[in-house]
C-alpha cells in the first residue's frame, strides 16, 4: 500500500470510510500525527502548542516519561483480562483515598458510560424514576444525557428537548430541565415532583462556574427532599484539585463520576459513592430485583489503570496544582489584556485550569446567557490562533502541566495576531 503523507490525502481517505469524515469528536479538517510534551503535529508536520490535550486527559502532556514507563512495565504482563487485576484494585484504592464521596468505585470504559450508570444507580437506590439535569449540561451520549444539552429551541422549563434522533418520548418524560445557577428553579421542581431520583450536575458546567453558595444549595435541597446529588466530575476530577470539584468547592455529592485523567490517556472511567449506595452492584446483598447489572469488556483495564495510577501519583506531588493554576491564570490574563486594550467586549469564563472566552458584555451564568454576541468573532479568533500554532477547541482551553515559558510566548504572539484579525474586520 502506498504510504500517504499529506494531510489532504488522509482527509480524503477519512471521508470515504467515516461519516462526516471524522470520529464525531473534533474538526475532521486536521489529522494529528503525534504528540510529545506540550506539542502536537499534524500529518503535514505543522507543530502546535496543545491546549486541547485530548479533551482533557493529557494533564501531564503527551508521552510523559514516568507514565510511559508504567505502561511499558505492564504491557508484557498482559493487556486485558476481563477479570480483576492488581493495577485496577490499586487505582480504586487511590481514588477512594482522594475523592470525598467515594467509599467504593466501579470501573467502566468511558465517561458517558459512567454517567449512564450513575443515573441508573440513583434510580435503583431511590426507587424513583425522574432525573433533574441542567440545560447545557453535558453528561455523555446516553438518551437521558442527550436531553437539552444544546437545544436550539428555547422552550419553557422543565420541558426536555432531545438533542439527537432516535430517542423515545418516554425518555423525555422522565427528565426535568432547569437553568444552571438558579436554586429557586430547582427548589420549585423538587417541591412539585416527589418522584425525582437524582440531580445530575457538572460542578463547573462546561466552563460556567457555580455562583457562590450554589453547589451547597443543591446539596441542601437534595438532603431536604431525599434526592441523590450526582456530580459529573469526568472533566473536573483531578483537574480542579486532587480531590476534584468536591475538594475545590467543599461540597460532597452522593455519587460522582470520573474519567479522562484517571486513565492517564487510556480509555477508563469510574463512578463512586458510599458502600450503601454501591451495594446495588452486589446481587448477593440487594437481591435480583434491586441489582444493577454492569459489565464491560475493558472495565478496569490494567494498562489504563497503570497509566492512571502514575498520573495520579505525579499530580499529588507538592506544587503541581499551584503551577497548573499559575499557567492558566497567565493564559487568561494575556488574552483578557489584549482584548481589553483593543476595546473588544469579552468575558473570561471558567476556572484557571479550564476556561475560554465569550465575546459579550453579559455575565455568563447559564446556558442561555453564555453565548457570543457575534459568533463570527469567536470563529475568526480560534482560526487565527490555530494558523499561528495554537491548537484548542472552539469553546475550551485546557491548561496543562507540560506548558513551558516558550509555549506561553508563542501563545502570546498568536493571541496578538487573533486580536488584530478581529480589529481588522
Among 87, 47, 1, CA closest to 311: 87
Give residue-wise pLDDT tens across range 337-384: 999 999 999 999 999 999 999 999 999 999 999 999 999 999 999 999
- For the chain, what is the radius of gyration of the CA atoms? 22
The CATH number assigned to the domain holding 281 equals 3.40.640.10
Other C-beta atoms closer than 10 Å to the C-beta of 281 total 19
Q: Tell me: do 363 and 406 sit in the same domain.
A: yes
Query: How high does pLDDT run on average in the chain?
Result: 97
pLDDT the model gives residue 152: 87
Q: Tell me: do 47 and 98 sit in the same domain.
A: no
Query: Would you say residue 2 has pLDDT above 60?
Result: no
Q: Tell me: do 288 and 354 sit in the same domain.
A: no
Q: Tell me: do 227 and 357 sit in the same domain.
A: no
Q: What is the mean pLDDT of residues 148-174?
A: 94
Residue 192 CA to residue 100 CA, distance in Å, equals 31
Active-site position among 133, 260, 310, 392: 260
Among 400, 5, 398, CA closest to 206: 398
232 is a catalytic site residue:
yes
Q: What is the mean pLDDT of residues 158-173?
A: 95
**Residue 2 counted as domain residue:** no
pLDDT the model gives residue 251: 98
Question: Which residues, including other chains, have CB under 8 Å from residue 174's CB and lie 6 or more apart?
Answer: 129, 130, 131, 144
Q: What is the mean pLDDT of residues 274-299?
A: 97
SS (H, E, C) 306-323: HHHHHHHHHHCCCCHHHH
pLDDT the model gives residue 1: 47
Active-site position among 125, 138, 214, 367: 138
- Asked if 411 and 397 count as a contact pair (C-beta separation under 8 A), the reply is no
Give residue-wise pLDDT tens across range 245-285: 999 999 999 999 999 999 999 999 999 999 999 999 999 99
351 is a catalytic site residue:
no
The CATH number assigned to the domain holding 418 equals 3.90.1150.10
Query: Would you say residue 52 has pLDDT above 50?
Result: yes
- Asked if 23 and 15 count as a contact pair (C-beta separation under 8 A), the reply is no
Active-site position among 50, 182, 232, 366: 232
Among 215, 68, 201, CA closest to 136: 201
Peptide bond before residue 129 is cis, with ω within 30 degrees of 0: no
- Asked if 217 and 228 count as a contact pair (C-beta separation under 8 A), the reply is no
Q: Tell me: do 41 and 82 sit in the same domain.
A: no
* Domains held by the chain: number: 2
DSSP letter assigned to residue 75: G
Q: 315, 339, 368 — which closes off a domain?
A: 315
Domain range for 380 = 31-63+319-423
**Residue 108 counted as domain residue:** yes
**Residue 3 counted as domain residue:** no
Share of the chain above pLDDT 90, in %: 98
Per DSSP, helices labelled H in 150-212 are: 169-173, 183-192
Give residue-wise pLDDT tens across range 306-331: 999 999 999 999 999 999 999 999 99
Residue 347 CA to residue 363 CA, distance in Å, equals 8
- Asked if 249 and 215 count as a contact pair (C-beta separation under 8 A), the reply is yes
Q: Tell me: do 257 and 404 sit in the same domain.
A: no
Give residue-wise pLDDT tens across range 64-75: 999 999 999 999
pLDDT the model gives residue 153: 85
Share of the chain above pLDDT 70, in %: 99
Q: Tell me: do 143 and 222 sit in the same domain.
A: yes
Amino acid at each position: 500500500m502506498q504510504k500517504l503523507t499529506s494531510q489532504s490525502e488522509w482527509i480524503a481517505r477519512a471521508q470515504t470510510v467515516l461519516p462526516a469524515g471524522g470520529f464525531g469528536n473534533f474538526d475532521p479538517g486536521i489529522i494529528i500525527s503525534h504528540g510529545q510534551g506540550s506539542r502536537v503535529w499534524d500529518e503535514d508536520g505543522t507543530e502546535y502548542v496543545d491546549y486541547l490535550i485530548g479533551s482533557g486527559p493529557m494533564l501531564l502532556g503527551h508521552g510523559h516519561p514516568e507514565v510511559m514507563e508504567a505502561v511499558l512495565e505492564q504491557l508484557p504482563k498482559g493487556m486485558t483480562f476481563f477479570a480483576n487485576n492488581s493495577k485496577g484494585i490499586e487505582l480504586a484504592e487511590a481514588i477512594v483515598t482522594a475523592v470525598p464521596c467515594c467509599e467504593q468505585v466501579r470501573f467502566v470504559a468511558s465517561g458517558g458510560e459512567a454517567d449512564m450508570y450513575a443515573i441508573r444507580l440513583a434510580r435503583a437506590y431511590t426507587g424513583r424514576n425522574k432525573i433533574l439535569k441542567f440545560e447545557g449540561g453535558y453528561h455523555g451520549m446516553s438518551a437521558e444525557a442527550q436531553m437539552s444539552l444544546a437545544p436550539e429551541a428555547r422552550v419553557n422549563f422543565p420541558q426536555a428537548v432531545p438533542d439527537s434522533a432516535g430517542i423515545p418520548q418516554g425518555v423525555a418524560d422522565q427528565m426535568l430541565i432547569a437553568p444552571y445557577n438558579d436554586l429557586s428553579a430547582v427548589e420549585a421542581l423538587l417541591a412539585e415532583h416527589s418522584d425525582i431520583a437524582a440531580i445530575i450536575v457538572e460542578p463547573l458546567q462546561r466552563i460556567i462556574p457555580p455562583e457562590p453558595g450554589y453547589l451547597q444549595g443543591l446539596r441542601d435541597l437534595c438532603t431536604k427532599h431525599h434526592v441523590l446529588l450526582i456530580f459529573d466530575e469526568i472533566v473536573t476530577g483531578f483537574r480542579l484539585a486532587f480531590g476534584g470539584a468536591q475538594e475545590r468547592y467543599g461540597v460532597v455529592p452522593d455519587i460522582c463520576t470520573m474519567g479522562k485523567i484517571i486513565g492517564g490517556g487510556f480509555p477508563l472511567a469510574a463512578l463512586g459513592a458510599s458502600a450503601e449506595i454501591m451495594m446495588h452492584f452486589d446481587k448477593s446483598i440487594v437481591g435480583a430485583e434491586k441489582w444493577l447489572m454492569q459489565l464491560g469488556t475493558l472495565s478496569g483495564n490494567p494498562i489504563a489503570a497503570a497509566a492512571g495510577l502514575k498520573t495520579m501519583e505525579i499530580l499529588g506531588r507538592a506544587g503541581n496544582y499551584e503551577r497548573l493554576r499559575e499557567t492558566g491564570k497567565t493564559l487568561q490574563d494575556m488574552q483578557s489584556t489584549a482584548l481589553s486594550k483593543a476595546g473588544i467586549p469579552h468575558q473570561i469564563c471558567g476556572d484557571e485550569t479550564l476556561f475560554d472566552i465569550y465575546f459579550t458584555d453579559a455575565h455568563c451564568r447559564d446556558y442561555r446567557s453564555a453565548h457570543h454576541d457575534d459568533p463570527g468573532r469567536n470563529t475568526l479568533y480560534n482560526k487565527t490562533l490555530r494558523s499561528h500554532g495554537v491548537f484548542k477547541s472552539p469553546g475550551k482551553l485546557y491548561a496543562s502541566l507540560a506548558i513551558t515559558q516558550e509555549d506561553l510566548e508563542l501563545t502570546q504572539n498568536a493571541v496578538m495576531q487573533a486580536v488584530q484579525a478581529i480589529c481588522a474586520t
